[in-house]
């Protein structure tokens, strides 16, 4: 018995677009949400295939606030450095160590509090 199977050719394409907004009082979150909605609208209106026979099998849209991401990365980096600021075993853990650790903790806390994570 032979099967009559047709090979379907597919392609996965990634588009990267960076948008820098002058917020003029708007929030970065709102602008990211609007950008996603505009992309979804384009998908719904057939803009990904135009007037071709191609069909969209699936898509994924996400928006990341790059400014927020870099602030969180900086806070994490500083916290990791602070965690290395510990005395050798048997030596004194003093106020300077405590202050360094507390400062890193507060910076991380603030970075995550102001984020959408």
pLDDT grade, residue 115 (50/70/90)? low
| Helix ranges (DSSP H) in the chain | 28-44, 66-83, 95-113
- Listed by start position, the domains of the chain span 8-63, 65-117
Q: For 70-113, what is each residue's pLDDT tens digit?
A: 777 788 888 888 877 777 778 888 888 888 888 888 888 877 77
Region 2-28 average pLDDT:
85
Q: Which of 29-33, 53-57, 80-84 has the lowest mean pLDDT?
A: 80-84
pLDDT at position 62, please?
86
Quick check: 54 pLDDT over 90? yes
State the Cα torsion 42-45-50-53 to the nearest 10°. 130
Contacts of 115 (CB under 8 A, 6+ apart): 68, 71, 72
Alpha-carbon gap, residue 105 to 113, rounded angstroms: 12
Both tokens of residue 21?
């907004």
Quick check: 41 pLDDT over 60? yes
């Amino acid at each position: 018995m032979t099967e009559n199977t047709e090979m379907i050719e597919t392609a996965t394409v990634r588009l990267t677009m960076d948008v820098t907004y002058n917020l003029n009082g708007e929030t970065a979150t709102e602008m990211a949400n609007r950008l996603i909605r505009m992309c979804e609208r384009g998908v719904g209106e057939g803009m990904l295939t135009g007037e071709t026979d191609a069909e969209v099998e699936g898509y994924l849209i996400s928006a990341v606030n790059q400014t927020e991401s870099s602030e969180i990365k900086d806070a994490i980096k500083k916290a990791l450095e602070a965690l290395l600021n510990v005395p050798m075993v048997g030596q004194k853990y003093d106020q300077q160590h405590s202050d360094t650790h507390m400062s890193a903790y507060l910076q991380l806390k603030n970075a995550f509090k102001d984020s959408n994570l």
